[in-house]
Amino acid sequence: MKTLKHVCFTLVIICLSISCRKDIDFEPMSDSLTFSKDTVYLDTVFTNIKSAVYTLKAYNNSTKNIYIPKVGLANGEQSYYKLMIDGISGKTFENIEVLAKDSIYIFIETSIDFDKTRDKSYLYTDQIQFLGGAKPQNIELVSLVRDAYFLYPKKDLNGITEQIDVSKNKKENGFWLTENHPTAGNTLHLTNKKPYVIYGFAAIPEGKKLIIDQGAELFFYNNSGLIAKKNSSIEANGTIEEPIVFTGNRLEYSYRYLPGQWRGIWLQETSKSSLNNLIVTNTDIGLIAENTLDLNLYNVQIYNSVQYGLLAINAQINGKNLITANAGISTMALQEGGNYSFIHSSLVNYWNAPDQTSLLIENKAETSLGSYTFENCLIYSSASTSFNIHSDEANIQKFKFKNNLFKDLSNRTMSYTFPYNYNDSTYYADNFILTNQNSGKVVFADINRNKYQPTDQSSSILGKAGIKTAQKVPNDLSGKLRSSEPDFGAYQHINTMQE
């Protein structure tokens, strides 16, 4: 009985809905529609990878309920764009109803085959055509398409994806870089001819060297990364004019500064490696150096990491003009000993988390002595302190902070003991410390767009780095010559009224 009542009630509702719908009259559109935009620019996409979904609104400004006789793409079924109207996907639609003084949403996405685009152009265009009014109306669609090499794990006959060992007892989807890839050629020598889009972990085999040319671009899919196995090495030959770029594979503007899009670079017991003019963005961990020997970082930039920008575990690293900025835990973490020297480097953290810091040194194992030298560095955080050290003095082989700028608004210096006794010349010398009693401040060009050049609004802290140390790195990250009044960090300051 209850079931019968439920069925009857449902039928009544359906009938009422139909009746109400029939009471609404629609007539062919006669006036022009208006639109939320006259051109829809879909951000750059790689060939055969779906774009994000974009929206267009079409407005019926008349006092009549209308229907649009035809809405469709100018290239018809051959178009690489796809529309969705009223929950239905397609490329051509008829009799689209719009109530008086109302609007409809049109959703747009694309997946473009670069090899089939007209004239091999990087620019792919089409139109959404609205037919039936006083005159046809068109909305332009524009996409920039990039061809690329696609590197990914193989699948066997059973559909099982190739995996590699990423750490002890842990496998991940991945593949080995090789001299004879079937489409990309020698993937142990990456060039700037086309971007590389990487799915899974790309691994450098033991004993092999990966060479990366200036201007090369590597785009990583979610849960992907680069691993250098034992005794392998990387030679990254970027220049100031043509840096090497490692980032996520989503090119839309909304992803440009979004952390956590891919896993990062992981160096595992590698031999001598050199990374020059490399930009790494939007990772879980930007760069892990684990038991790495002789790693040289010059003009390296690491931005927007969920956990750490640079995580070093018992490694040997020399860094000059290094900048690592914005990370959920710390922009740089040095753990379990190692030997580190950083000159004119910027460690900056504005991550919105109470426990974040810019530099974290953790060395609790007595068997792992650490050596740490920082000179002419800018170590700054939006938190109350720029750095934290969790290590007994006995576990420190060498610790030298000289001519750095850092921030400490806490009262921990009142203990007058290691590691925060800034008057102890054994460890600290000629540093510029921002405290509650100090009016100095650091103003960067634009932290929301990875522009960490100090500006002339930071006047109280400018020109105060060590001259002798600056002579070891005479040019800043942008190539500007350091003057007789060098600034702290990777950049010389810029004048906001001029640059």
pLDDT digits (tens, 9 = 90+) for 230-241: 999 999 999 999
pLDDT at 6 over 70: no
User: How confident is the model at residue 145, as a pLDDT?
Assistant: 86
User: How confident is the model at residue 17, as a pLDDT?
Assistant: 41
Average pLDDT over residues 410-414: 82
Q: What is the DSSP string of 184-218?
A: TB-TTEE-SSS-EEE-SEEEEPTT-EEEE-TT-EE
pLDDT at 295 over 90: yes
For residue 366, the SS3 value is coil
User: How confident is the model at residue 221, as a pLDDT?
Assistant: 94
Question: CA neighbours within 13 Å on the CB side: how many for 219?
Answer: 21
How far is 226 from 187, CA to CA, in rounded Å? 12
Indicate the residue among 146, 173, 190 that finishes a domain: 146
How far is 84 from 77, CA to CA, in rounded Å? 14
> What percent of the chain has a predicted confidence (pLDDT) above 90?
73
CATH of the domain at 138: 2.60.40.10
Instruction: Name the residue with tokens 């332009």.
Output: 140
pLDDT at 252 over 90: no
The sign of the CA dihedral 481, 485, 490, 494 is negative
| One domain, residues 140 and 231 | no
User: Does residue 75 lie in a domain region?
Assistant: yes
Indicate the residue among 83, 115, 146 that finishes a domain: 146
Beta bridge partners of 244: 278
Question: CA neighbours within 13 Å on the CB side: how many for 451?
Answer: 11
Indicate the residue among 111, 146, 181 that finishes a domain: 146
In 3D space, the residue among 331, 422, 316, 333 whose CA is nearest the CA of residue 378 turns out to be 331
How far is 116 from 329, CA to CA, in rounded Å? 46
Average pLDDT over residues 85-102: 95
How far is 130 from 386, CA to CA, in rounded Å? 58
pLDDT at 10 over 50: no
The type of residue at 209 is K
The type of residue at 62 is S
In 3D space, the residue among 217, 274, 211 whose CA is nearest the CA of residue 242 turns out to be 217
Measured in whole angstroms, the distance separating CA 425 from the mean position of its chain's CA atoms is: 40
User: Does residue 458 lie in a domain region?
Assistant: no
How far is 98 from 86, CA to CA, in rounded Å? 11
| One domain, residues 203 and 61 | no
CA dihedral 218, 338, 318, 281 (to 10 degrees): 30
| One domain, residues 282 and 188 | yes
How far is 410 from 432, CA to CA, in rounded Å? 16
> Within 10 A of 474 (CB to CB), how many other CB atoms are there?
12
How far is 490 from 499, CA to CA, in rounded Å? 17
Which are the contacts of 301, defined by CB distance < 8 A and separation ≥ 6? 243, 278, 279, 280, 322, 323, 324, 450, 477
Domain span at residue 304? 149-434
| One domain, residues 102 and 170 | no
The helix (run of H) or strand (run of E) holding residue 11 is helix 2-23
Q: Is the peptide bond before 259 cis (omega within 30 degrees of 0)?
A: no
Q: Total structural domains in the chain? A: 2
User: How confident is the model at residue 417, as a pLDDT?
Assistant: 84
| One domain, residues 83 and 188 | no
Q: What pLDDT band is residue 251 in, cutting at 50, 70 and 90?
A: confident
| One domain, residues 74 and 206 | no
| One domain, residues 384 and 260 | yes
For residue 393, the SS3 value is helix
User: Does residue 355 lie in a domain region?
Assistant: yes
| One domain, residues 281 and 399 | yes
Lowest mean pLDDT: which of 213-222, 303-312, 385-394?
385-394
User: Does residue 473 lie in a domain region?
Assistant: no
| One domain, residues 73 and 199 | no
User: Does residue 450 lie in a domain region?
Assistant: no
The type of residue at 49 is I
pLDDT at 8 over 60: no
pLDDT at 2 over 70: no
| One domain, residues 139 and 156 | no
List strands edge to edge, sheet with 34-35: 34-35, 54-60, 102-110, 81-85, 88-90
User: Does residue 394 lie in a domain region?
Assistant: yes
pLDDT at 15 over 50: no
For residues 222 and 262, is the Cβ–Cβ distance under 8 A?
Answer: yes
| One domain, residues 159 and 132 | no
User: Does residue 17 lie in a domain region?
Assistant: no
User: Does residue 475 lie in a domain region?
Assistant: no
| One domain, residues 328 and 191 | yes
Q: How far is CA 226 from CA 204, 248, 270, 315, 480, in A?
A: 8, 12, 13, 18, 31
